[in-house]
Amino acid sequence: TTDSDIVTEIASRLAKKCGFIVFPTINYGISFEHSPLFNTSVTATALGIIISNIVTSLVENGVTSIIILNGHHGNAQILGRVKDTWGVLSYWHFMKHEFDHAGFVETSIMLAISDKVKMKKAKKGLITKGMSKEEKERISKLSTEQGGFPKVAKNGVWGDPTGATKKDGEKFLAEIVRNLAKECQT
């Protein structure tokens, strides 16, 4: 999936830059906000148990420093509960450009890391430029509720992917990795 592909690529680049060990990406997350659009989801409880079990195993095997790199906004709430115990970072917080969903940023990043993108199918979705901060917050909150995302972004796209480029994707990746590396050094 897009989220797994992106977070795996970022983790790999971060590991090369900082000398970290990367464990396999958990390819499932909390995506109930996307229904009735196709999605495969696990509950917050299930994801929390999986992450807790993995981290416990790592700690029992002598790992003393753990960073969980989040690749899906729907996972943020459950990960927020453990961020004080383990390092939890959502990569989109480490770039200046406003993040989107299947829009310019995410599509550009995918163009930089994969040949799966079909740009001929790219369609503009919800555009928040020009909206007030309050309106953006209201829409953002609605989009995280079960079945809420398609209510605000009818076609599942938050942004405009039609101008996405591989070059921009590489710039976003470099910025994210550079800023994550700085954060991980502290």
Residue 90 phi, psi (nearest 5): -100, 120
pLDDT digits (tens, 9 = 90+) for 31-74: 988 888 888 899 999 999 999 999 999 999 999 889 999 999 99
- Gyration radius from the chain CA atoms: 17
What is the CA angle 138-144-147, rounded to 5? 110
Span between the terminal Cα atoms of the chain, in Å: 31
pTM assigned to the model: 0.93
Q: What is the pLDDT of residue 145?
A: 86
Cβ(126)–Cβ(152) below 8 Å: yes
Domains in the chain: ranges and CATH: 2-185 (3.40.50.10310)
pLDDT digits (tens, 9 = 90+) for 158-183: 999 999 999 999 999 999 999 999 99
Q: What is the pLDDT of residue 168?
A: 98
Q: What is the pLDDT of residue 36?
A: 84
Q: Residue 98: left (phi > 0), alpha (psi -120 to 50), or beta?
A: beta
Helices (H), 61-122: 76-80, 104-113
Cis ω for the linkage preceding 150 (within 30 of 0): no
Q: How far apart are CA 146 and CA 5, in angstroms?
A: 24
Residue 105 pLDDT > 90 = yes
Cβ(35)–Cβ(147) below 8 Å: yes
Nearest to 3 by CA among 96, 88, 70, 95: 70
Q: How far apart are CA 105 and CA 92, in angstroms?
A: 10
Look over the chain and give the mean of its residue pLDDT values, rounded to a whole number. Answer: 93
